[in-house]
Amino acid sequence: MLAYIIRRLGVALLVTAGVAAISYALLHVIAPNPAFVALGDRSSPIAVAAWDKTHGYDRPEVVQILDYIWNIARLHFGYSYKLNQSVGALLKENVGRSAYLSLASLVLALVIAIPLGVFQAVRRNSYFDYSVTTANFVLYSMPSFFLGIILIQFFALDWHVLPPLVNDNITTTWGAIIHPEQLLLPVVTLAAIQVASFSRYMRSSALDTLAEDYIRLARAKGLSERVVLTRHLLRNACLPMITLIGLSIPTLLAGNLLIEYLFNYPGLGLMFYTALGNLDYNVMLAYVVLGGMLTVLGNLIADILLTVADPRVRL
Amino acid sequence: MTEPHEVRGEQWRVEHPWEDPLVPVRPDPLGGILPPDHPLGDGSAPEGGEIQTISSGWRLAVREFRSNRLAVLGLVVLIFFLLFSFAGPLVYHGNTTISNPLNANLAPGGGHPIGTDENGFDELARMMQGGQAAFEVGAYAALIAIVIGTLYGAVAGLVGGFIDGLMMRFVDVLLSIPFLFIVLVIATRYNGTVVEISMVLGVFSWLIPARLVRGEVLTLRERDFVSAARVMGGSKTRIVMRHLIPNAMSVTIVNVTFLIADSMLALAYLGALGFGLSYPRTSWGDMLGGALTYVQNGQWWLVYPVGACLVLVVLACNLVGDALRDALDVRLRRR
């Protein structure tokens, strides 16, 4: 077990280094150096050369990439020349609000999707099953921002029960937590998109589990249907969800970006969007690399958790 | 993947009873062979002329696809939107190039069935343009992705060994970079033509097809029917053309529809974030860029018709893709 974790950790570190290298190289291809962004479009070649020298952009590309990987390894994400502060400080400022949005929606999605999938499997091919499957299919094909617009239309504009945008006063994570009504629409929108894919997998996983002998045995023992479903079915059917959550992290982050943009909620996604407009390269790079790191980490944790939760999974 | 379906699939592959004209066969309406004790197959010898034989897996797949009503509906929706986007402009002419403030933000009615936007462009004609962009970008991006992915996966699967490992680790690294982020970073530099956006989307979505094709090639190489063909003296070309390619094709075809759907969604996301096509071309995502302002101003006609087009087309692609997967991949057949 320990050897497996160490080996997987090594692979994860290598993949993260690869992500940093490829992102840096790619940015280097499309935008040779950020001097023009920092100094302005009409800066003189001498000024650009001097700026390159002070900031290390005159070194060979390979050295720059290796240096960047070394910086990432120490969690040094560079400096934002547009906002005049270190990217690390920017990330630290925004990460709490984004994490809150993501986690809240993930938890909500699981709380809805897991029972939904089980009920669909138990009443399979019923009208309930068909209508939920249809709704899931539509949600799955719907861009998250469009779903957000529809929710804003109903809950904010037509019925006036929730605010259409997140209030500008929400500046801290704590502020977001104590004003749940402000974040209800973003969280629900982000959760709905995830419910679509989660409950689909949950349904098929529960269907597979329902056909197992131990379910038949549990029923034959005379256990009540409730106990069969919660004790025997649910626990086993949830196992594939662990992997699925790990795999859905890129989707979650992309959803975060669009939802933060739509609802004007200041988090990492909105920071990234602003950086795109400003051509603030180090911030863009940091967010891409951070996304890659979270993806790798998510898969790693999911695999380890699965071996802990399911003794049948052998390493 | 429950047991009986697996058995049915294997039976289908191994025995091929319909190839022997002497064996009476009652095909299962769902696309398999009924066991003799099945209630639908009475076990007695059928009357002459009743026997329905199936000549190839492809025809079986077509029948399976046609039996899925949702998928046929999806196909009809796709054909409708293809006609709407490409044949529509021949029938319906609307102004989409000359901005006219006097005509701006008109509600539906009069000469504009779906109203006009803030530039005075006709919304219906713009929707047709957006449809063209969606289908073009979807098709080009899927084509680029599938060509790169199939070649890469097939090479990795056939070569094997250390090179295969190296190639797949590279795919792992690229897969760890969130797709939308890297596309957006590149989007800060491109000019917003259909070809450019398709290339960017295609170049970053070949990873999943590459993995699938590699896995398929790896398993197909070792499958019994390939060994059997080899034992029976089938030439290498015959094995590749008759056995490997048709079987790997199903994975590719199924994946193309999902790639098209994903590329259309990605195009919509790019457009909504303001990194879409540039004037005079437009996409449905571009048109939804100001959706929040529109709904706040009560201009519903600028939001919901476009959004409905987007959802319907992506939904139809996903439905067709799902049905194709059910129809082509016998091992996954569940219904």
Q: What is the pLDDT of residues A39-64, one digit of tens each?
A: 887 888 898 888 888 888 888 889 99
CB B172 to CB A26 under 8 A?
no
Q: Please report the pLDDT score of residue B51 as a whole number.
A: 52
Residue B41 has pLDDT above 80, yes or no: no
Q: Please report the pLDDT score of residue A271 as a whole number.
A: 92
* Overall average pLDDT of the A9-15 stretch: 90
Strand partners, B33: B27
Average pLDDT, chain B: 80
CB B288 to CB A27 under 8 A?
no
Q: Which of 84-103 (A) contact B at CB < 8 A? A: none
**Among A207, A189, A181, A37, residue whose Cα is nearest residue A121:** A207
DSSP SS3 for B160: coil
Q: Please report the pLDDT score of residue B323 as a whole number.
A: 85
- B264-297 pLDDT, tens digit each: 999 999 999 989 898 889 999 999 988 899 998 8
Q: What angle do CA B266, B169, A304 make, to 5 degrees?
A: 90
Mention every residue, 6+ apart, whose C-beta is less than 8 A from residue A3.
none
Tell me, yes or no, if A234 comes closer than 8 A to chain B by beta carbon.
no
What tokens were used for B185? 């970073």
Residue A32 has pLDDT above 70, yes or no: no
Q: What angle do CA B293, A262, A145 make, to 5 degrees?
A: 95
% chain A with pLDDT above 90:
35
Q: Please report the pLDDT score of residue A44 as a whole number.
A: 86
All residues of chain B having their beta carbon less than 8 Å from the beta carbon of residue A288 are 177-178, 181-182, 185
Residue B55 has pLDDT above 80, yes or no: no
Mention every residue, 6+ apart, whose C-beta is less than 8 A from residue B330.
B9, B12, B13, B57
Global pTM value: 0.84
Alpha-carbon span A266 to A90, nearest angstrom = 11
Residue B13 has pLDDT above 90, yes or no: no
Residue B38 has pLDDT above 60, yes or no: no
Measured from the Cβ of residue A237, the count of other Cβ atoms closer than 10 Å reads 25
Q: Please report the pLDDT score of residue B52 as a whole number.
A: 54
B209 to A23, A197, B250, B253: CA distances (angstroms): 22, 20, 12, 10
Tell me, yes or no, if B268 comes closer than 8 A to chain A by beta carbon.
yes
All residues of chain B having their beta carbon less than 8 Å from the beta carbon of residue A145 are 269, 272, 288, 291
Could you say which of B180, B291, B292 has the minimum Cβ distance to residue A254? Answer: B180
Q: Which of B292, B299, B310, B322 to mutate to test the interface with A (most CBs of A within 10 A)?
A: B292
Place of tokens 């979505």: B205
Q: Residue A163 in contact with residue A181, Cβ under 8 Å?
A: yes
Q: Please report the pLDDT score of residue A288 as a whole number.
A: 92
Tell me, yes or no, if A65 comes closer than 8 A to chain B by beta carbon.
no
Could you say which of A146, A164, A273 has the minimum Cβ distance to residue B311? Answer: A146
Q: Please report the pLDDT score of residue B6 as a whole number.
A: 37
Q: Please report the pLDDT score of residue B49 as a whole number.
A: 52
Residue B16 has pLDDT above 50, yes or no: no
Residue B333 has pLDDT above 90, yes or no: no
Tell me, yes or no, if A279 comes closer than 8 A to chain B by beta carbon.
yes
Could you say which of B173, B292, B315 has the minimum Cβ distance to residue A138? Answer: B315
Please state the ipTM of this predicted complex: 0.89
- The DSSP H or E segment spanning B156 is helix B123-159
Q: Report the largest interatomic distance among the alpha carbons of chain B, rounded to a whole angstrom.
A: 78
CB A137 to CB B295 under 8 A?
no
* Overall average pLDDT of the A124-148 stretch: 90
Residue B12 has pLDDT above 50, yes or no: no
Residue B50 has pLDDT above 80, yes or no: no
Distance from CA of A34 to the nearest CA of B (A): 13
- A86-115 pLDDT, tens digit each: 999 999 988 889 999 999 999 999 999 999
What tokens were used for A54? 């002070």
